[in-house]
Amino acid sequence: MEGYKEKCERLVKQLNEASEVYYSGGEEIMSNYEWDALFDELSSLEAETGYILPDSPTQKTGAEEGGGEREPHEFPALSLAKTKQVEELVKWAEDKQVWISWKLDGLTLVLTYDGGRLTRILTRGNGTTGTNITYLKNAIKGFPLKIKYQGHMVVRGEAAISYTDFALINDTIEDDDEKYANPRNLASGTLSLDDPEKVKERRVHFNAFTLVYMEQDIRSWGERMKYLEEEGFTVVERERADAGSLPEVVERWTKKVENGQMDLPVDGLVICYDDTEYAASGSVTGHHASKAGYAFKWKDVSAQTKLLYVEWSCAASTISPVAVFAPVQLEGTTVSRASLCNLSEMERLGIGKECDMEVIKANKIIPKCIKATNAREEIEIPRTCPVCGAETQIRTSPRSNTRTLHCTNPGCTAKHGKKFTRFVSKAGMDIDGLSIQTMLKFMNQGFLKEFADIYHLWEHEEFIKQMEGFGEKSCENMMRAIEKSRKVNPVNFIYALCIPMFGIDAGKKIVMDGGFQGFLDRLEQKKGFEDIDGIGPEKSGSALSWYEDEKNRSSLEALLKEVTIEKVDIKPAEGGKCQGLTFVITGDVRHYKNRDEFKAYVESAGGKVTGSVTSKTNYLVNNDAASGSAKNKKARELGIPILTEEEFVSRFGA
């Protein structure tokens, strides 16, 4: 019989192994539901016996990230006590004014400002030391690089990736070992990357949840959050409450999650006292500050159901199993499908034909199977890809030992999600309602094999209306957007073709030179484009190589039967304030909505925007003109003036 010491040791090992995988961005080996249950069991056993191991997760504030320079926190980032009982929140609130906010499921960052400038960004790490990632300051949104306040200030917040961006990014990651299990893992993995440009592509957003320290005394937490907003921070959503109103507020906020109103990942709520002086007067027990705040986690509601069949869905090169089960009511909605992630997860859960299943909605959003029993027999693993019919192959990841199923056909349509995403984008054919997830569903049904098939989706309209996530109205809106895109600007059409190295700029130059027919003639005659200013031999060669591929030629021909290319007259701007000047724009922009709008203005004023600083550059525009970035260094070496955006607007702008 297992003694209490052996049981504690087993639980600690299980929980720590699951946490290590979770925080490193790998495939989950247990759900939050299972982890919480084991954690509660361990906590009760420790309280009952007094036997607590040094590496017990009850004694930690979180996982330590690997790599990077480790630095001590000026103010320890202690974890919050947790409860699943609203009554506990009410008791904790006492007779004080409190604030309720989201417990975002991301990565905690600590920002330090001195003299009005951001000087340091640390990850939370183990609560006492974190990893310095200040080099990513231009790659994360949600906080200013400069503030009006000139004193010493420390701000803590959560860096998170929305569900929308998570799905888009994960579906277009073709290397299966690089895929992430959830937005939190993606955020954690992203902030461990060395390349700021790659981080910026992942759309990580910082949400401040507390002003840890400033020399200027603001006693109210609510006023502190208001102050941070005024300084330019994105601040977590919040609502004032007291013990009497807490149950109603918690219920109302919970409904927001249940009704799918939250795009940011959350795994609970946080309450804190408005009186920050009172909050700081609490004691510190273990790794918890008794009055710093209280975290509320929802009780996961599970339901019993029966597996009907496993559907196999191909995205990029991976074929993933999806459980389709008898519909059940969970958190106010009807649920009938849940991703099983991979073959290893199927085996771990015990998924088999006609098995009984226990399912939950993880964080009240994502349907998840947590247990399977009474399987009649094993599920047959498909030998052919559901999209293209090619042979499949089982692979084992050397990193996580996870078994996954793959399509062996390098030309499988499902492997080209990035291209379809670009084709329907606003800069391409501008087809609203065709997300990458939607297109992958259509690919798995055999509706999409090449771009032109988008214009034949109407043939499957009745079937699409019956698909999960669709209805009469959404299907009609999508069909309307597809029809609208049949008339297209030649520049956008060229971009949509996904010719390597050909962006909007190249399309403009080509159309300006000889129109769309000139573009086709140059491809057919193998003349190329290197004689056009700004194209060059590398881009020209890329386009010719693209056209030599029979699949690309036939795809273009099929598309031209479906669309009408507009006749446009693109003329270079003349007489503008930027006439004849070449600019490089780097870093965040503030006057213009984004870099695209900034670039559009420069071009409309007769100027040119390039991506790298060379001897031909006239000005580098960087709001952080004093930074030691590579572009700033290059500009200084070449004697090229560095302008802030404000200086640019003063001299050239509108």
Query: Any residues with CB less than 8 A from the CB of 131 and at least 6 apart, and which?
Result: 65, 67, 68, 69, 70, 71, 122, 123, 125
What secondary structure does DSSP assign to 491-550, as a single string?
HHHHHHTT-TT--HHHHHHHHHHHHHHHHHHHHHTT--STTSTTTHHHHHHHHHHHHHSH
Tokens matching residue 552: 């690309």
DSSP 8-state symbol, 39: H
d(CA 651, CA 199): 32
| Catalytic (active-site) positions | 103
CB of 453 closer than 8 Å to CB of 403: no
Tokens matching residue 425: 């984008």
Q: How far is CA 144 from CA 360, 571, 587, in A?
A: 39, 38, 12
CB of 447 closer than 8 Å to CB of 413: no
The distance of Cα 410 from the centroid of its chain, to the nearest Å, equals 26
Query: Any residues with CB less than 8 A from the CB of 399 and at least 6 apart, and which?
Result: 26, 177
Tokens matching residue 550: 């029979």
Query: Any residues with CB less than 8 A from the CB of 365 and at least 6 apart, and which?
Result: 163, 257, 260, 262, 265
d(CA 382, CA 363): 31
CB of 373 closer than 8 Å to CB of 350: yes
HEC string of 90-115? HHHHCCCCEEEEEEECCEEEEEEEEC
